[in-house]
Amino acid sequence: MNDKKLMNRAADNIRILSVAMVEKAKSGHPGGAMGGADFINVLFSEFLIYDPDQPEWSGRDRFYLDPGHMSPMLYAALTLQRKFTIEDIKQFRQWGSVTPGHPERDLAHGIENSSGPLGQGHAYAAGAAVAEKFLEARLGHTTMQHKIYAFISDGGVQEGISAEVGRLAGNLGLNNLIMFYDANNIQLSTECGAVMNEDTGMKYRAWGWNVLEIDGNNPDAIREALVSANKEKNRPTLIIGRTIMAKGALQADGSSYENSIKTHGAPLGGDAYTNTVKNLGGDPEDPFKIFPEVQKLYDDRATELRKIVAERHAAEEVWAKENPKKAEQMHEWFSEKAPKIDWSGLVQKRDIPTRNGSAACLGVIAEQVPNMIVSSADLSNSDKTDGFLNKTHAFTRDDFSGAFFQAGVSELAMACMCIGMMLHGGVITAMGTFFVFSDYMKPAIRMAALMKTPVKFVWSHDAFRVGEDGPTHEP
Give catalytic residues, as residue numbers: 411
Query: What phi and psi values does residue 324 have, to the nearest 5 degrees?
Result: -60, -35
Helix, strand, coil shares of the chain, percent, nearest 5, are 50, 10, 40
Query: At 475, is the secondary structure helix, strand, or coil?
Result: coil
CB 130 within 8 A of CB 405: yes
Sign of CA dihedral 304, 306, 309, 310: negative
Query: What phi and psi values does residue 373 have, to the nearest 5 degrees?
Result: -120, 130
Instruction: Count CA within 13 A, CB hemisphere, residue 145.
Output: 11
CB atoms within 10 A of CB 327: 17
14-23: b (≥16 Cβ within 10 Å) or e: bbbbbbbbbb
DSSP string spanning 137-161?
A: HHH-TTT----EEEEEEHHHHHSTH
Q: C-alpha angle with apex 107: 94 to 229, nearest 5 degrees?
A: 110
The CA radius of gyration of the chain, in Å to the nearest whole number, is 23
Q: C-alpha angle with apex 98: 93 to 104, nearest 5 degrees?
A: 85
In the DSSP assignment, the letter for residue 345 is T
- The C-alpha atoms of residue 131 and residue 417 are separated, in whole angstroms, by 9
CB 372 within 8 A of CB 428: yes
CB 78 within 8 A of CB 87: no
Query: At 394, is the secondary structure helix, strand, or coil?
Result: strand
CB 397 within 8 A of CB 171: yes
Enumerate the β-bridge partners of residue 152: 181
CB 238 within 8 A of CB 181: yes
